[in-house]
Structure 1
Amino acid sequence: MRVVIARCSVDYEGALQAHLPLATRLLMVKADGSVLIHSDGGSYKPLNWMAPPCRMTELTPDEEETEQGVESVWLVRHGKREDTLRIRLHEVLSDTSHDLGVDPGLVKDGVEAQLQALLAEHISTLGEGYTLLRREFGTAIGPVDILCKDSSGATVAVEIKRRGDIDGVEQLTRYLELLNRDPHLAPVQGVFAAQVIKPQARVLATDRGIRCVTLDYEALRGMDNAESRLF
């Protein structure tokens, strides 16, 4: 990974146009070719980015850019669309590269992993007649926590979280989009299951036709007789 801190401006052209005026920012170039532009704020989300497949070329600034104080230009082109990022570097404060090696991937915490195992064992928690197909069903963007069938034989994808927020709903939405491309599985319905589901996540899920299920961890473990609450 290449990490650069520089005073720069950024112009994006594609489905829309966007401009970041001159400021000091963090630029990241990852091994997969993606380029991300961050500010010192806004949590984890970049101000702008280009996802792979894309290619970055470092150019000499043109005459007008040189007059404006531009020292170098990064031109990032998407491999399948006409989208481009033009990053004009006025001053490079730091430029380092690091080999991060092979990442082992995200390891879910104990409670979430146990929720998945317990729900798979007691899949009828989702409804009478549900049957388990597979845990950690692989897709091109990651594994779906649980793939099962409902009482009518329709395929259901289940995403499990301890605390269900909007990001979890977005993640399940992406899985459903991929799964529904497979004629052997489609149509695939979605279930968003968590111990606590935030109101905004519930609204978004409902709007997208995704059913929300609130899980009782202790009940699933058999430590009490309370039934999981279905919404």
Structure 2
Amino acid sequence: MRLVIAQCTVDYAGRLTAHLPLAERLLILKQDGSVLVHSDGGSYKPLNWMSPPCRMEESEPTPTQADAGIERIWTVRHTKTDDTLEVSIYRILHDSEHDLGVDPGLEKDGVEAHLQKLLAEHIEVLGPGYSLVRREYMTAIGPVDILARDAQNASVAVEIKRRGEIDGVEQLTRYLELMNRDPLLAPVRGVFAAQEIKPQARTLAEDRGIECLVVDYDALRGMDDPSTRLF
């Protein structure tokens, strides 16, 4: 992993365009090829990024760019979509590389891990015609709990929590932003599944077009027979 703190501007061009004006930012270049641009705020969400598969080229500025104070140009291009992320570096304050080795992966809360396994085994809970693609589908910023396809063969990303709160909706939103950049997956819908979903989280999810699903843990485990209930 390469960590660079630099004064830079950032321009993204693709299905949409975005510009970050000159400021000091943290640039993260990961071994998988992804590039993330962070500020010293906004929690852990990057201001902009390019997810793999992509390649980066570093070049000298043109005379006009050099006159403006630019020292280096990073051009990151997605190899499937041709989206580009261009970082114009005016000054590097820090540049270091670190070998982090193989990550053992996230150890989830026992209930969440069990919910994920049960929901994958009973994917029809999401609706008729659903099929499982895989559990722990990896993105550049972490694994989505379940990737499935609905009856129309459209991609569905499922994030599972024991208790559904706003941060879980934000997490799924970031996954969806990345996955919808992949033409092999897009369009990707989101399902936020939990044993309990807070009203604020439900409101935010529905506002973003994310479906909410309250999961009955005991029913999935086969311990709760709905036919024996009075209500």
TM-score normalized with structure 2 length: 0.66
Q: CA deviation at 1:82?
A: 2.7
Q: Secondary structure at the residue paired with 1:202?
A: helix
Question: Is the 1:205–1:212 contact (alpha carbons within 8 Å) kept by the matching residues of 2?
Answer: no
TM-score normalized with structure 1 length: 0.66
Q: CA deviation at 1:195?
A: 3.6
- In structure 1, the partner of 2:153 is none
The number of residues matched between the two structures is 209
- Match for 1:21: what amino acid? P
Structure 2: unaligned runs, 5 residues or longer: 149-155
Mapped pair 1:91 → 2:91: yes
- In structure 2, the partner of 1:212 is 213
Deviations along 1:160-202, one digit per CA (max 9) or x if unpaired, are 312213146546996xxx9999xxxxxxx98744243132442
Q: In structure 1, which of residues 166, 171, 174 is the aligned counterpart of residue 169 of structure 2?
A: 166
- Match for 2:70: what amino acid? V
Instruction: Give the alignment of 1:107-122 within 5 angstroms.
Output: 107-115=107-115
Q: CA deviation at 1:30?
A: 0.6
Superposition RMSD on alpha carbons, in Å?
4.6
Q: 1:192 to 1:92 in 2, by over 3 A?
A: closer
- Match for 1:86: what amino acid? E
Q: CA deviation at 1:12?
A: 1.8
Q: 1:51 to 1:113 in 2, by over 3 A?
A: closer
**44-53 or 103-112: which moved more?**
103-112
**196-205 or 17-26: which moved more?**
196-205
Q: Secondary structure at the residue paired with 2:65?
A: helix
Question: Is the 1:193–1:215 contact (alpha carbons within 8 Å) kept by the matching residues of 2?
Answer: no
Instruction: Give the alignment of 1:1-231 within 5 angstroms.
Output: 1-115=1-115, 137=135, 139=137, 142=143, 144=145, 159-164=159-164, 165-167=168-170, 170=173, 192-203=192-203, 204=205, 208=209, 210-213=211-214, 215=216
Q: 1:158 to 1:69 in 2, by over 3 A?
A: closer
Q: Secondary structure at the residue paired with 1:101?
A: coil
Give the percent of matched residue pairs that are identical in Structure 1 and Structure 2.
Answer: 53
CA distance in 2, matches of 1:52, 1:93: 26
